[in-house]
Amino acid sequence: MPINKILIEKGTEDAPLTRRILEALPHLPVAGVEPESALPPPESLAESKSTLFLTRFKGELIKPCPGTKDYICCGYRILHIGSNCPVDCSYCILQAYFNQPFIRLFVNTEEIFFKLKTFVDSHPGEIIRLGTGEFTDSLALDHWTGFSTLLIQELASYPNVLVELKTKTTVIQNLLPGAPSKNILIAWSLNPQEIVRKEERGAASLSERLEAAVICQEKGYRLGFHFDPLFFFQGWEEAYQQTVRLLFSKISAEKIAWISLGCFRFMPALKSIIQHRHPKAEYIYQEFIPALDNKMRYPQIKRVEIYQKLLGWLRESGKEIPVYLCMENPSVWKKVFGFIPGVEVPTLKEMLDQRVKELWGGKASLKNSELEVRSK
């Protein structure tokens, strides 16, 4: 999606990251803002998504993934580098989640990296899994910001930190010079091309994402893939099966760190936003039920069916790849995998932390596939 203008918070004009972005986008109009409360309100969400706001990060830099009670969480933490996203997915929860407009980039990198070091130093010996893709796309603006290069340099001295960069783009050029960083895992959200075309406006196509993944694989990076959100629609089985087959026709199973599955779920307030902004989004009129986390979800029997089918297709080519469910309850885990993380087997956090140790050359852990056999 195009960026049409840049707003700069007073006091950040001379930040190196600000200067880099202005050099990369010299043709865009620029306006200063003082204070942030003086931000001109956008006329629409579309305008908000095409305006870049360069500002300082003032809150909690590293926070737990917003897991909810009664749902199993992987225990990773969010590294907060920005909020909102230029990709315009019809289902994006950020449309209803943020009351702060515009695509926000935090340019006070020295302060960010100081807080990161302080956090890492306070957790000696602990495997720290971080992700930057919770509130924004990790790489959508990286060709302008070069933040991934700065992050790789900073992480080089942290032997216990892994940062997952999750994206729907092909913006990987800053990750390719030099040796691959052991601290970086590059991940893509995947859906059948039919869903990409209809619901993920501004994102790279499925084939483009996988070709970018091939380049990163050849460079030596470990990869992650997330089938999230999964949708139920006419022909979904064939579409997702073909997507899985395409994935393994391009990517070696040995290069995949993990794969997650998560069915579409949404806060009730998002429905009217989708209806207004994306009137052709048919999925919003399907059957959903209120769940324990107050989100609307497909009925459990349908979610279990979708997960079981996806898991079966993934196991055909990737028997040893850890596969996990994102934000699902223990009952669904038991029906899909035959076990519940944290009950007679390690917690999901422990399993993924162990997987990171494997990627770094540590002792192999018990795979999901082995747990599935033992539980039967």
**Do residues 101 and 52 make contact, with C-beta atoms less than 8 angstroms apart?**
no
The answer to whether position 9 is within a domain reads no
CA distance 61 to 93: 21
Mean pLDDT of 217-224: 97
Confidence category of residue 376, pLDDT binned at 50, 70, 90: very low
Q: Which of 328, 325, 347, 338 is nearest to 369 (CA)?
A: 338
Residue 63: helix, strand or coil by DSSP? strand
Q: Percentage of residues in the chain with pLDDT exceeding 90?
A: 82
Position 35 scores a pLDDT of 74
pLDDT at 369: 56
Tell me: pLDDT of 156 over 90: yes
Q: Is the pLDDT of residue 98 over 70?
A: no
On whether residue 264 sits in a domain, the answer given is yes
φ, ψ (nearest 5 deg) of residue 236: -60, -35
**How far is residue 236's CA from residue 115's CA, in Å, rounded to a whole number?**
44
Mean pLDDT confidence for 130-155? 95
SS3 225: strand
Parallel/antiparallel/unpaired status of strands 51-55 and 77-79: unpaired
Residue 76 inside a domain? The answer is yes
Classify residue 96: in a domain, yes or no. yes
Q: What digits encode the pLDDT tens for the residues 230-271?
A: 999 999 999 999 999 999 999 999 999 999 999 999 999 999
For residue 219, pLDDT over 50 is answered with yes
Give how many domains the chain has, as a whole number.
Answer: 1
Kindly state the tokens that stand for 289: 């039920």
Q: Which domain holds residue 295?
A: 60-101+108-374
Arithmetic mean of pLDDT, 200-213: 97
The predicted pLDDT at position 29 comes to 96
pLDDT band at 37 (very low <50, low <70, confident <90, very high): confident
Q: Is the pLDDT of residue 117 over 90?
A: yes
Tokens 């996203």 found at: 85
Residues 38, 43, 47, 48, CA torsion sign: positive
Provide mean pLDDT across the span 188-193: 98
In whole numbers, what is the pLDDT of the chain averaged over residues? 92
Residue 367: per-residue pLDDT: 57
Residue 193: is its pLDDT beyond 50? yes
- Give yes or no for a contact between 206 and 243, defined as CB atoms under 8 angstroms apart: yes
Range with lowest mean pLDDT among 43-52, 108-117, 276-285 = 43-52
The number of C-alpha atoms within 13 Å of 41 and in the hemisphere containing its C-beta is 3
pLDDT score at 60? 86
How large is the average pLDDT for residues 87-101? 85
DSSP 8-state symbol, 267: -
Tell whether 319 is covered by a domain.
yes
Please indicate, yes or no, if residue 64 is contained in any of the structural domains: yes
Residue 357, phi then psi, degrees to nearest 5 = -60, -40
Residue 32 lies in a domain: no
pLDDT at 174: 97
* Mean pLDDT across 118-135: 94
CB 146 within 8 A of CB 154: no
Task: Choose the weakest-confidence range: 15-29, 150-164, 351-365.
Answer: 351-365
Residue 132 lies in a domain: yes
The per-residue pLDDT for range 348-374, each reduced to its tens digit, is 999 999 999 999 996 655 556 555 644
Give the CATH number for residue 251: 3.80.30.30
